[in-house]
Structure 1
């Protein structure tokens, strides 16, 4: 009887396009081959309509999830089933019909196929739930394999048990408006009075005001004094550092007295030569490209430096620089005439340089004909200005001007009003001398003179070098 199945809970699979529906059977029409479900769920979601009607040709599979008066109907179904099958594992054809009291299929399935009834376990019963789940798994594997088992799990999770319309979006703003933040905090504070809360806010503001960044001073310092060096004899020119500190120039006579005082205190000429050699080498390495040029992977492009030296202390400073450059894998060519009488200091520096990979030449014709990476000029001397009139000096200067390489001049002479070799960079020692007006960029080298030695010659000195040994100077 069609009325015997009314009120039963069924699951109807209409394929991938229409999906799966669950609901309570409200009517079965044998004439029109349709079945209707009340309070239907579509793919686990409550349908917005109260009733849905299905045609037999749309039904792929039908499962009974719960049957009213199960005991009486099982016997009647088993006796009346003559060839119909409620649920089979095969695909139904498009010509399926709804019969009384079950949906039949015109496919070639056997008429003795058993009727499968899937029933949920009562809530709160663990034993019956386990038994029902075991029965469901066996039935699902037998009638649909793994796919049937997965569909059964989906039905258990999403088939029923929810009465809310999940299609409605959750109102976040409305829900947030229900939260009274002020009331909650007042409950948390409890016994805190308004004055106590005001004190807490004031304390938080003070703590916030005392918070500093990593690059901010915690303690307020005194105003910066940019003129921290004063000299008894001014050289006539002033320079300033990148930070704005004023560095005055001094005449050569005062510079000479300063070096003599340093020697009396133990800062010997050999120590100064080593310091000047290291600082000028570091500056030259930076001019050559630094880490971008001098790397183990770039040994085929080692920079070439030519150092032009005379037989005096300035020449010894250049030889010391060349020794350190050679130790840093720079190809160094040292020009020093061997027919001139040299000071003992120069001879000692030449001996040390000969232990390196550097090359020493005595004539201009042995110098490279192609441009080199850097020229270091140490030809001039503060004491003997007649060297520039000698032929070897003029020849070396002409070669340097024709080579078109950038020139670094170390400790140039003050009296040189007209540069024989135009330098791009000039390195002064300790304090700058009043050099002639050129386009050369002036740098200052720290040669390690203590502060008390400056005071001995009447110079009030505060180091402008900061964390460096070589700093640039700009015209003030």
Structure 2
């Protein structure tokens, strides 16, 4: 009678410790009270061995799920009797086997594809024992018992075909290599352009695909006009900013008219000197190293700056810069001759400078012999070019050329002659003047002249400074 049940699909419940097994009956031994399942599944996961043998004493419940092969099946009464006799033998302990089920590997059984054993049996079937319940919905494995990880899902839905090796590591690099990023993005771009054509067929000819950098604005309403400053009298040379805006040079007469118009509207010489002093001080601090040099922990290496100033407005601009540098803990030495007549603006700036920690000398002999960190040249004057012929001027220029320190020139005059003191950097005010060809790097300083003041002298002006007060200019 046991041979009649070979090939049947059964479900064996071995309790909470061993779990639930399903498989095809391969052999039934009445003498040893054992039953073997071919290609078994344990808690919905396919077992790594082709056959598992169970002792009757370990079986808590046995259910017939179906018949895999075509055999002569007994009637339902005979099946129930067989199941009852087998189960009673298991409960009465009529077995000399161990209380633990053991799995044996049998090479004669081929490892075929997993059979469908977790499907719910149809109602009224002779093999279903009159119930529609297949296997318990939740099984638990405790104390490290056999059966693998916990399975809390419904075995009827997720138990079939799980023949993957769950212990194998996932190959992230191999899986990532299968992803073609360029092809996916090209497909996305193609889909987007197709949808745009479908939505806006009339404007497709006007639309153009464009790539933008991370610092570019994609919401531009109109194209940028790079020539935003036009002057009635061109100085003969043009510059451009880092963003491409064109800044033309102006002759000195137009520049002088611009400053006179600003004074009529309230931008006095004193206010202009303060703006120039702050901007030139900020540029000088950057040239000296900025935060890398000027820190509270670096007081033993304070930079030294020498200012060469004349008794005119350009000299007053340099003195204002020196006052701000001294306020920022910079060693400042001011050279200013005391035997010549000074303008009122120079006297006012000297009085303010004398309240700082900066030094003032009137002789070249009192200037440092060793090279300094920075030299600021404000000796020249727009109105009086004859100052170059005086002895104090020539002495100061000779000292500057011998000191071999980098030179910053503030508001240099318009001259075709060779500069007495060659500057590495040149700072122009408002708009650049027509300077002679030199190796100096030109910078532009915002001195606070309003836009309508520019328009008053015939200059169409849009500020090129952006978020800064000092910007570099490059030859156009």
TM-score (structure 2 length as normaliser): 0.64
CA–CA distance in structure 2, aligned partners of residues 304 and 62 of structure 1 = 95
| Structure 1 residues 77-156: aligned runs within 5 Å | 81=94, 84-88=96-100, 146-148=143-145, 151=147
**1:237-272 CA distances to partner (integer Å, 9 max, x unpaired)?**
322222352513314x45444434433443322122
In the other structure, the counterpart of 1:240 is: 239
Relative distance call for 1:300 and 1:387 in structure 2 (3 A) is same
Number of aligned residue pairs: 393
| Alignment partner of 1:66 is 2:66 | no
Partners of 2:384 and 2:89 in 1: how far apart? 134
> Shift of the alpha carbon at 1:285?
2.5
Query: Residue in 2 aligned with 1:391?
Result: 391
Q: CA deviation at 1:450?
A: 4.2
CA distance in 1, matches of 2:157, 2:98: 24
d(CA) in 1 for partners of 2:380 and 2:339? 17
Q: 1:475 to 1:151 in 2, by over 3 A?
A: closer
Q: Which residue of 2 aligns with 1:373?
A: 373
Whether the aligned pair in 1 keeps the contact of 2:59 and 2:90 (CA below 8 Å) is no
Matches within 5 A, 1:354-433: 354-415=354-415, 417-433=417-433
SS in 1 for 2:27: strand
Equivalent residue for 1:229, pick from 231, 246, 255: 231
Unaligned segments of structure 2, at least 5 residues? 64-79, 105-130, 166-194
Which SS does the other structure have where 1:462 is aligned?
coil
1:215 to partner: Cα distance? 1.6
For 1:178, the equivalent position in structure 2 comes to none
Alignment partners' CA distance in 2, 1:265 and 1:33: 115
Aligned pair in 2 of structure 1 residues 348, 25: CA closer, same or farther (>3 Å)? same
Q: Structure 1 regions of 5+ residues with no counterpart? A: 13-18, 95-121, 170-197
> 2:40 touches 2:52 (CA, 8 Å); kept in 1?
no
**Counting helix residues as a fraction of each chain, which structure ranks higher?**
1
Contact 1:304–1:372, Cα closer than 8 Å, also in 2? yes
Look up the match of 1:276: 276
Contact in 2 for aligned 1:23/1:39 (Cα 8 Å): yes
- Give the Å deviation of 1:340: 3.5
| Structure 1 residue 331: Cα displacement | 2.5
What is aligned with 1:179?
none
Q: CA separation in 2, counterparts of 1:238 and 1:21?
A: 93
Structure 1 residues 158 and 396: alpha-carbon distance in aligned structure 2, compared to 1, 3 A threshold:
same
Matches of 1:249 and 1:77, distance apart in 2: 111
Aligned to 1:249: 250
Determine the C-alpha separation between the residues in 2 that align with 1:153 and 1:414. Answer: 88
User: Which residue number in structure 2 is paired with residue 202 of structure 1?
Assistant: 199
Are 1:336 and 1:361, in contact at CA under 8 Å, matched by a contact in 2? Answer: yes
RMSD (CA atoms): 5.1
Task: Answer yes or no: is the 8 Å Cα contact 1:9–1:24 preserved in 2.
Answer: no
Deviation at 1:210, TM superposition (A): 11
The Cα of 1:221 is off from its aligned counterpart by 5.8
Q: Distance in 2 between matches of 1:28 and 1:226?
A: 99
Q: Distance in 1 between matches of 2:385 and 2:336?
A: 17
Moved more, 69-78 or 395-404: 69-78
1:39-84 CA distance string (max 9 Å, x none): 63367445899xx66689xx9x954542864655566567783x72
**Cα distance change of structure 1 residues 370 and 404 upon mapping to structure 2, 3 Å threshold:** same
CA displacement at 1:408 relative to structure 2: 0.8
Alpha-carbon shift at residue 397 of structure 1 (Å): 1.7
SS of structure 2 residue aligned to 1:320: helix
- Per-residue CA deviation, residues 309-365 of structure 1 (Å, 9 max, x unaligned), is 122221111000111222233332222233443322212111111222322233333
Shift of 1:2: 8.0
